[in-house]
Structure 1
Amino acid sequence: MLLPIIQLVGPTASGKSGLAVDLALALAERGQPAEVVNADSMLVYRGMDIGTAKPSPAERRGVAHHLIDIMDVTETASVAQFQSLARAALDEVRGRGAVPILVGGSALYSRAITDVFEFPGTDEQTRARWEQALAERGARALHAELAARAPEAAVEILPDNGRRVVRALELLDLGQDLRPTLPTWTYALEGVHTIGLALDRQVMDERITQRVEQMWADGLVEEVRGLLEVGLARGRTASRAIGYRQVLQYLAGEFDEDEARAAVAAATRRFARKQLGWYRRDHRIDWRQAGTVEPAELAEHVLGLRQS
């Protein structure tokens, strides 16, 4: 019997993590084990809890979660590496007779896991040169350079996303194909069923504002201070995560606290809109209104997807 892979996607604050646990428990009640596989590249980091809205052990309610808290903040996570780890986790879960529920992540990461998705080559010296330029000049300056050299590619990358800007410039220097779009909508894995949680833009923005306020109340600044002691500032990817980057700027005196909080909310809204743009192009997604999905009904739907 081929067990399906259930992929939950949608904007920030649409309730994906909670629904994943609800679905896993509903499936277990019907005799079908299920486990959650994280597709968010920042949940892999130990200690990055508040700013990533990482589900706590209590919120996981006994449901097994994979690819959470597996790396130190000084380690660099790449899309290619995450693809390999996630696909291995999906195979492992299925091998135990459980339904994998793949949750969250950007369109880039979620599609790299499930879709036909190959990665162009790299060159350490070229990458190191652009990493140094990023540290000295900042992401927006490099994004302007990318826009001058490859305007179509620059449009598809947020100006603050230093990691993707560096990668694009590296590929340009290497003379490799720099495609402004993701590959065609073709699953590389069998049995993938993608469910999207739709959220009204105004509601999404309100939830994002509330979430950022709650993160501050829960101690995001203190969390970042603690992570600085274990090398957060040296982490190429962890230090650039939304929320952490702005708090680091606040602690460095570049923002006051109110400006940092506003910057986190603004960056999160930009990111959410960008992701929605990508997801809306994917005709394979079964869209459901966030907050209205009944776990029991969804569980029955999933059970009907099993193939002999």
Structure 2
Amino acid sequence: MSRPIRPIAVVGPTASGKSDLGLELAMRLGGEIVNADTMQRFWGMDIGTAKVPLSQRRGIAHHQLDVLDVTQTSTVAQYQYEAGAAVEAIMARGAVPVIVGGSMMYIQALLDQWRLPTTDPLVRERWERVLTLGGRAALHAALRTADPAAASIIPPTDTRRTVRALEVVEITGRPFAASVPRAGEARWNTAIIGVDRATDTLDARITARTAQMFAQGFVEEVVGLAEAGLRDGITARRAIGYAQVLAHLDGDYDLAEAQHRMSIATRRYVRRQRSWFRRDPRVHWIDADRQPVEHVTDWLANSS
């Protein structure tokens, strides 16, 4: 009797090599990729999100890429539903779902079946207005007043989660954490692989990758997306790199400073990703510099 199909989630910090490992696992195991990177869900956000080009996908089907226009809003609840449907459809075809990405809440909502409070556009818009008029300091101050526990774990720089926390508190009348369950058995018995590298190595990769993005035409990509309404979007305009280039285009600083700020913002995001994923005891961590894909396949073969 054949073993049931077990999905695989490849998580970890930005620039650690998740996409490469995910593709290799999909090739070896007969899988399809389910994207778990918030910003890769947007059409046209290719260079700045390190989206794997179509020519490099090895003929492997990818899901939850290019499903939103930059003027639309990406939500955890929407992703949870759509990605969950994609995973189950892949399994029904007899293939292995390989979930790849580093968007923390998206992955955990999917694998832990979070019961997410509904969203209220008017409430969200009100908190977005606080951010626009008062900046992230004013927004985070509001969260400290409404929910000190949430403010202690959500940094002021993470304005998307801050807005969502304030929205949840207002809608439910309960602390934000009350809507976030603890991790239990992963949905579908998903095997979770964490990919990381030494900090110095990862920092160097981030610096090199950022420079390569600018050399490949990242600024031109942002200009085109701005013409398509990037500034009107709630989610897309705040993406790391895109926000910095928009500020450069608006005359806030020169291009070298935009590139520098993008690298810094990426390294800060990496620290948040590590903190989030390292708390999850279900994750099997690998050092991408020292442990080849065979280590992962051997572990998968011997784990339940």
* Superposed displacement of residue 159, structure 1: 1.8
Q: What whole-Å deviation, never above 9, does each CA across 1:93-134 have from its counterpart, x for those lacking one?
A: 101000111001322111111113111233332222112222
Matched residue type, 2:185? Y
* Superposed displacement of residue 298, structure 1: 3.3
Matched residue type, 1:234? D
Unaligned 5+ segments in structure 2 are none
**Which residue in the other structure is 1:62 paired with?**
59
TM-score (norm 2): 0.92
**Which residue in the other structure is 1:111 paired with?**
108
**Which residue in the other structure is 1:24 paired with?**
26
- Preserved CA contact (<8 Å) 1:4 1:192: yes
Residue of 120, 132, 136 corresponding to 1:135? 132
Say what the alpha-carbon RMSD is for the aligned residues.
1.9
Q: Does 1:96 align with 2:93?
A: yes
Bigger shift: 249-258 or 264-273?
249-258
Q: Does 1:144 align with 2:144?
A: no
**Which residue in the other structure is 1:34 paired with?**
31
Q: Does 1:285 align with 2:287?
A: no
Residue of 77, 82, 89 corresponding to 1:80? 77
- Preserved CA contact (<8 Å) 2:43 2:68: yes
More helix by share: 2
**Which residue in the other structure is 1:218 paired with?**
216
TM-score (norm 1): 0.91
Residue of 9, 13, 16 corresponding to 2:15? 13
Please give the residue correspondences for 1:179-194 in structure 2 after superposition, counting only pairs within 5 Å. Answer: 179=177, 182-187=180-185, 189-194=187-192
Bigger shift: 98-107 or 165-174?
165-174
Provide the secondary structure at the position in 2 that maps to 1:286: strand
- Preserved CA contact (<8 Å) 1:120 1:176: no
Provide the secondary structure at the position in 2 that maps to 1:209: helix
Distance 1:186 1:64, change over 3 A: same
Provide the secondary structure at the position in 1 that maps to 2:38: coil
Provide the secondary structure at the position in 2 that maps to 1:179: helix
* Superposed displacement of residue 181, structure 1: 9.4
Provide the secondary structure at the position in 1 that maps to 2:176: coil
* Superposed displacement of residue 210, structure 1: 1.3
Distance 1:257 1:155, change over 3 A: farther
Q: What whole-Å deviation, never above 9, does each CA across 1:150-197 have from its counterpart, x for those lacking one?
A: 333123223232222222222333423321895212135222100111
Provide the secondary structure at the position in 2 that maps to 1:49: coil
- Preserved CA contact (<8 Å) 2:115 2:179: no
Write the distance in 1 (CA, Å) between the matches of 2:276 and 2:140.
Answer: 20
Please give the residue correspondences for 1:254-293 in structure 2 after superposition, counting only pairs within 5 Å. Answer: 254-293=252-291
* Superposed displacement of residue 141, structure 1: 2.6
Matched residue type, 2:34? V
- Preserved CA contact (<8 Å) 2:165 2:176: yes
Bigger shift: 87-96 or 208-217?
208-217
Write the distance in 2 (CA, Å) between the matches of 1:97 and 1:159.
Answer: 44
- Preserved CA contact (<8 Å) 2:195 2:286: yes
Write the distance in 1 (CA, Å) between the matches of 2:33 and 2:182.
Answer: 26
* Superposed displacement of residue 263, structure 1: 1.3
Write the distance in 1 (CA, Å) between the matches of 2:11 and 2:214.
Answer: 25
**Which residue in the other structure is 1:30 paired with?**
none
Matched residue type, 1:162? T
Bigger shift: 161-170 or 202-211?
161-170
- Preserved CA contact (<8 Å) 1:44 1:71: yes
Provide the secondary structure at the position in 2 that maps to 1:133: helix
Q: Following TM superposition, where does structure 1 have runs of at least 4 consecutive aligned residues deviating by more than 6 angstroms?
A: none
Q: Does 1:44 align with 2:16?
A: no
Write the distance in 2 (CA, Å) between the matches of 1:117 and 1:181.
Answer: 8
Residue of 228, 231, 234 corresponding to 1:233? 231
Provide the secondary structure at the position in 2 that maps to 1:88: helix
Provide the secondary structure at the position in 2 that maps to 1:76: coil
Residue of 217, 239, 242 corresponding to 2:240? 242
Distance 1:188 1:194, change over 3 A: closer
Q: Does 1:298 align with 2:296?
A: yes
Unaligned 5+ segments in structure 1 are 28-32
